[in-house]
Structure 1
Amino acid sequence: MRFCLLSLLILTCFTLKEIHGQQSCGRSITVPVGSEDTISSPGYPAPYPSDSSCTYRIMSSPSSNHVTIRFTSFHVESHRKCSFDYLAVHDGPSTSSRLIKKFCGPELPPTITSSGSSLTIYFHSDSSVQGDGFEFSYSVGCTYTYTETHGQFSSPGYPSDYPQNSDCTYNIQPASGNQVLLQFLYLEIEESSSCSYDRLSLYTDATAPEIYRFCGRMNPFNVLVSASKFTLKFHSDRSVSRPGFRLSYNITRDCEHGNGGCAHDCLNISPGSVECSCRSGYELTYGSNCVDNNECSSGNPCQDVCTNTDGSFYCSCSTPGFLLSPDGRNCTDMSCKKSNGGCAHTCLPAGNAHYYCGCHHGYVLAPDAHNCTDINECTTDDATLVHKCEHHCVNEAGSYFCTCNSGYVVSSNGRTCEDVDECPNHEDTCDHQCKNVPGGWECSCYSGFKVDPENPHMCVDVDECAEGLAPAACTTCWNSEGSYQCLCSDGFNPNDDNTDCIDVNECMDRNGGCEQVCLNTPGSMKCACFSGYEPPSNNSVSCNDISKYT
């Protein structure tokens, strides 16, 4: 018990021991695999006595196993450095073994596992201010099952290096919930390719392959496990140890509680289940974390230097004389930025602050390599530049255009010429009809008429009889307006409009009166004989057998 007197502004403190003297306690326990029991502070659940000094040594049997303690109650006088009352946990068989940590205050200490086969717990209280004390359970082995909806656990001996040749199993089996958010508060396990040496593996099904495998040193991160139960298995080989890991877990409720454990965006998909997603420029990992997508490492989007930033990137130019273009990705030679490099038309960067001038279509670079001269496509002898006009070419600055002869227009391709049909505008000009001709038009007349020699727009009658246009068989011809009439000679018949004479085939009427062969002729007919016969005289219709005369 501590007393203080204030006298003349001097604070004097002294301690009186309890009448019953200093309290001593503690014990050594050897625990077989599978056994579990509890240890509590003196007088628990009543406040512990002052001036206590208790040492508890817990050893595993066989010695190849680890010792684990889990606190169910803890309240020891608080102090920033735990200098008054405290509980000290040592990783080994005595208080001279490595100190894991001193605990005081009302906060429940985490579950602690030895790196070897024993733990030593030392409790000390001073002469004043007592708390309610503590209670913890102890067990041996490296298989743990957690049924609470939240909790914490760590590797054997954490925060000291974990022991070699360890195989520990952590079964997370909350009594309720659909998803579990696993928080890696600390992770440092021997790093190797594919985590083939030391590793922490996560399984949602004992018969299925592992979902994740962890090793190396990583900053704190979360893993959203889409299962109500899962298992973590820790393995260490016979060399190289590290501090290991410290993890906590909580069942997932909804996005309104801690954003569902999501680093960026959270979506409620069902009671007790959420789905995480990331903003642009990030990639989802372990179901809840958002890792920056390094755009610079997957195909440089910049022409020159690419610098990755959190969720994005930016480009820059490292070559002297170049500036970043307005598109934010390409680099532009500064030489063309000043007065266009002196170029009349275009300035083209060549790199390293060099440039060259170019000209628009229809121009050629002048001898000074800066100005541009118009190309006269209408007169040039260069076959690659000469105009393509069908009729006429007219030059203009940087180009040319085509024109056509009278009666033609330029076609849609701007180069060839198409004839203009003028007749729609001259139908009333012609006496009879208008006829389109290449590049112009003329009047034409109906059959039986011809263009008047004295007036090309008028038509006059053709006198077929006078001009000898009637057929020869027409013995008598009468002209009429636009036509004529015929009187045919013997052996001919007139056609339907009496403008022609059609030969009559006399052989069609009783073989023309011939005994053997009838031959039709224009306007008449004649008889002939078969082979071996001959007519007795000219114009005879009969035939005689020649053999009768031989």
Structure 2
Amino acid sequence: MCRDNVMEMPIVFLLLHLFLIFTAHAVNPGCECLLFSATYGKDYGSFSSPDYPHPYQDNINCLLYTFIASRDEIIEITFKDFDVQKSHLDCERGDFLKLFLHLERPEVNEYTPWSGLLCGGFTDIPHVLYSSGPGLVLEFHTDRKTSNASGFLGHFRFIDRRMFQTDGQKLPGTMCDHQFISSNYSLTHGRFYSPRYPSSYPKNIKCAYRFRGRLKERIRIVFEEVTLQKGDL
């Protein structure tokens, strides 16, 4: 069970011992959970590592930052500061922040696939992250080695996911193929997105976007943003 929390972070972590243990759907029964489900009229809410900006504790077994949006929203995470001790290049051991970006429900367990691991300094990480659905979880671990690292500070906000809907028609029987056909009843312009945009796209996919204009029409395509992982075409 998580306890809702969007209080000022220094107060939060002074009261951290009051939070309930997240046993029902946690990665392990020892996880503690902070729940963020509203910004209470502000443009964004804040979250941070324990004791920030002072060095965080060692031997944090599992601290979950759980963000819950409404059904038609996604979550935007913006890191304002990040300093997590880096013991290994792949961040799989030592101190790290594990990302769960693609959740339909704000729940994780030991079988939930994670999206990435973060450690190191501010220049080592992506500064902005997006969920693909209404749930996002950050899982914080530290080892037994004492560190002078200050941890992290971030902002979160909820965004209407309908802003990123492709205007074309999805072809039946396909995962992500779309067609755009000009007619008297269609818009003269529109938008198209890769799957899960603005979050990271899935692995091993192939999407086709087919555009068909009418006689004497030409099609103009403008890419506003293209970010592809090395090896993807």
| TM-score, normalization by structure 1 | 0.24
Aligned residues: 148
Aligned position for 2:176: none
What is the CA distance between 1:155 and its match in structure 2?
2.5
**Residues 159/51 of structure 1: CA separation in 2 closer, same or farther (3 Å cut):** farther
What is the CA distance between 1:31 and its match in structure 2?
3.0
1:110-138: CA deviation from partner (whole Å, max 9, x where unpaired):
31111111101100001114221011111
Distance 1:64 1:160 in 2: 20
Distance 1:50 1:105 in 2: 16
Distance 2:77 2:220 in 1: 29
What is the CA distance between 1:51 and its match in structure 2?
1.0
Task: Choose the corresponding residue for 2:98, options 69, 78, 88.
Answer: 88
Q: Tell me whether 1:117 sits opposite 2:134 in the alignment.
A: yes
Task: Choose the corresponding residue for 1:138, options 156, 172, 185.
Answer: 156
Aligned position for 2:116: 101
Aligned position for 2:207: 190
What SS does structure 1 have at the residue aligned with 2:211?
Answer: helix
Aligned position for 2:58: 50
Aligned position for 1:155: 197
Aligned position for 2:68: 59
One-letter amino acid matched to 1:156: P
Identical pairs, percent: 22
What SS does structure 1 have at the residue aligned with 2:198?
Answer: coil
One-letter amino acid matched to 2:59: D
One-letter amino acid matched to 2:54: A
What SS does structure 1 have at the residue aligned with 2:114?
Answer: strand
Structure 2 stretches lacking a partner, 5+ long: 1-29, 165-195, 214-218, 229-233
Distance 1:39 1:25 in 2: 15
Aligned position for 1:421: none
What SS does structure 1 have at the residue aligned with 2:69?
Answer: strand
Aligned position for 1:447: none
One-letter amino acid matched to 1:30: S
What SS does structure 2 have at the residue aligned with 1:194?
Answer: strand
Map 1:237-252; keep pairs closer than 5 Å.
246=227
Distance 1:80 1:159 in 2: 24
Q: Which has the higher contact order (CA 8 A, sep 6+)?
A: 2
What is the CA distance between 1:246 and its match in structure 2?
2.9
Task: Choose the corresponding residue for 1:30, options 37, 46, 49.
Answer: 37
Distance 1:195 1:47 in 2: 58
What is the CA distance between 1:158 and its match in structure 2?
0.4
Distance 2:75 2:98 in 1: 16
